[in-house]
């Protein structure tokens, strides 16, 4: 399976390497770095070299490159690499070069437990936290003085049961179960405002703090919306196939219960519009006018709105006036950033003004585009609704809560 793992920073330097089955020279990373230099924004996730296969992900300004000797299911390895980053974020609150360097010892201990002879072993956060205690200042000082490590002397209780993702003997004073239904809208809108492409990538994140060994059943009002789903290992897939309900014994704490995809364009409502006009006149000036407004939000407010306009290369500078938020233009990357915040429906955000054009530039073939970022709380844009949550196996009544959030994924408007 996985022979070695290399973690590479933004400068192309390998700052951490871990080997399981055999030591692979770090010079193998040159194949990855060549591909990255050729196309920094679209590095192939799988690179075949004469003697190895390199499988990689990029997150948080660092790259994780796994080296395999034989052909393996690529998604299996890529999912494991994402799980490694998620575990680092869970332990250290972030996953950056500086944080990994500060916690080298714990990082190597985690990698030792997550892979056994190159095969995934313990990847559940609950199990890992029983095996290797998360670092804090007091524990670090005590370990320095006593010479001990963060590794536990005994196996986690969950490892010895048929529910390896949940430890035994969990007790809470307040029993709570919270579910966040998050949907990200990917869309392409053409010049006329017609939707060319639209889909939803959604996921349900949970925070479960329940005593004992509860067995939960979560049902939806309209479960037939899903085109494609993937589940946490705790979900009983047979029950989902037959009844379209989620039946599971949950891990303790935070975890992602399921991810889903909705590809039917008729279901995807576009919650925001941008009226745009960029007129390039002969000479050295043109005019830009943008207005942003909500659309199909069921009365919910649109917050955290940010607009990125990818300007043509012939635009030298902008002199604009906005009635809401602030803007800046980067003449090097040719990107106009406009931070709006919350949309006030009584006075729609507008930005207008002049743009400077390079003398003698060809303005006939100008196709700028707009990337939109937004958040809408208490709304699932697909119309998905949780029907009820039932608990079996325990006698207490837990506090239950569901929150819906809609965000922009890759949301682009063509001008």
pLDDT tens track for 75-118:
999 999 999 999 999 888 888 899 999 888 889 989 998 998 88
Q: How confident is the model at residue 411 (pLDDT cuts 50, 70, 90)?
A: very high
pLDDT at 159 over 60: no
What pTM does this model have? 0.81
How many Cα atoms within 13 Å fall on the side-chain side of residue 143? 16
DSSP state of 358: -
The H or E element that residue 172 is part of is: none
Nearest-CA neighbor of 358 among 280, 290, 277, 279? 280
Q: How confident is the model at residue 140 (pLDDT cuts 50, 70, 90)?
A: low
How many Cα atoms within 13 Å fall on the side-chain side of residue 314? 19
- Domain at 2-146, CATH class: alpha beta
Task: Pinpoint the alpha helices (H) of 161-254.
Answer: 237-243
d(CA 84, CA 80): 6
Q: In sequence order, what are the residues at sequence separation of 6 or more whose Cβ sits closer than 8 angstroms to the Cβ of residue 72? A: 1, 2, 53, 55
Residue 238 has φ and ψ, to the nearest 5°, of -60, -40
Provide the pLDDT for residue 314: 81
Q: Which superfamily is assigned to 176-268+379-414 in CATH? A: Mu homology domain, subdomain B (2.60.40.1170)
Domains of the chain: which residue ranges? Answer: 2-146, 176-268+379-414, 272-377
d(CA 343, CA 297): 12
The H or E element that residue 275 is part of is: strand 272-280
**Percent residues over pLDDT 90 in the chain:** 42
Provide the pLDDT for residue 164: 79
d(CA 357, CA 337): 18
Which CATH architecture is the domain 272-377 placed in?
Sandwich (2.60)
Provide the pLDDT for residue 118: 86
pLDDT at 337 over 60: yes
Give yes or no on whether 2-146 and 272-377 have one common fold. Answer: no
Q: In sequence order, what are the residues at sequence separation of 6 or more whose Cβ sits closer than 8 angstroms to the Cβ of residue 413? A: 188, 189, 274, 276, 369, 370, 372
Assign residue 388 a region (left: φ > 0; alpha: ψ between -120 and 50; beta: otherwise): beta
pLDDT at 403 over 60: yes
């Amino acid at each position: 399976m996985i022979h070695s793992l290399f973690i590479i920073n933004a400068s192309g330097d390998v700052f951490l390497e871990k080997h399981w089955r055999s030591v692979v020279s770090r010079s193998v990373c040159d194949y990855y770095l060549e591909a990255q230099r050729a196309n920094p924004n679209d590095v192939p996730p799988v690179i075949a070299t004469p003697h190895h296969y390199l499988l990689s992900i990029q997150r948080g300004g660092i790259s994780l490159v796994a080296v395999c000797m034989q052909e393996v299911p690529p998604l299996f390895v890529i999912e494991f690499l994402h799980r490694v980053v998620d575990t680092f974020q869970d332990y250290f609150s972030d996953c950056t070069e500086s944080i990994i360097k500060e916690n080298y010892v714990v990082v190597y201990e985690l990698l030792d437990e997550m892979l056994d002879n190159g095969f995934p072993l313990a990847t559940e956060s609950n199990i890992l936290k029983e095996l290797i205690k998360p670092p804090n200042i007091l524990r670090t000082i005590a370990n320095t003085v006593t010479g001990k490590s963060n590794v536990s002397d005994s196996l986690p209780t969950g490892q010895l049961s048929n529910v390896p993702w949940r430890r035994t003997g969990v007790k809470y004073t307040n029993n709570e179960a919270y579910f966040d239904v998050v949907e990200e809208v990917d869309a392409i809108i053409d010049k006329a405002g017609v939707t060319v492409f639209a889909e939803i990538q959604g996921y349900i994140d949970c925070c479960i703090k329940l005593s004992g060994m509860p067995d939960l059943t979560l049902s939806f009002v309209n479960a037939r919306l899903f085109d494609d789903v993937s589940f946490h290992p705790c979900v009983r897939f047979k029950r989902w196939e037959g009844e379209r309900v989620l039946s599971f014994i949950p891990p303790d704490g935070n975890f992602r219960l399921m991810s889903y995809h909705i590809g039917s364009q008729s279901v995807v409502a576009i919650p925001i519009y941008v009226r745009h006009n960029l007129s390039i006149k002969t000479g050295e000036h043109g005019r830009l006018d943008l207005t942003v407004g909500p659309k199909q939000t069921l009365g919910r407010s649109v917050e955290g709105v940010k607009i990125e306009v990818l300007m043509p290369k012939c635009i030298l500078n902008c002199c604009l006036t906005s009635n809401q938020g602030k803007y800046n233009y980067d003449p090097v990357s040719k990107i106009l950033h406009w931070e709006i915040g919350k949309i006030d429906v009584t006075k729609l955000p507008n930005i207008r003004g002049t743009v400077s054009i390079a003398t003698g530039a060809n303005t006939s073939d100008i196709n700028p585009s707009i990337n939109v970022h937004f958040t809408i709380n208490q709304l699932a844009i697909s119309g998905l609704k949780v029907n009820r949550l039932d608990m079996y196996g325990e006698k207490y009544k837990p506090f239950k809560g569901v929150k819906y959030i809609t965000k922009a994924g890759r949301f682009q408007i063509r001008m």
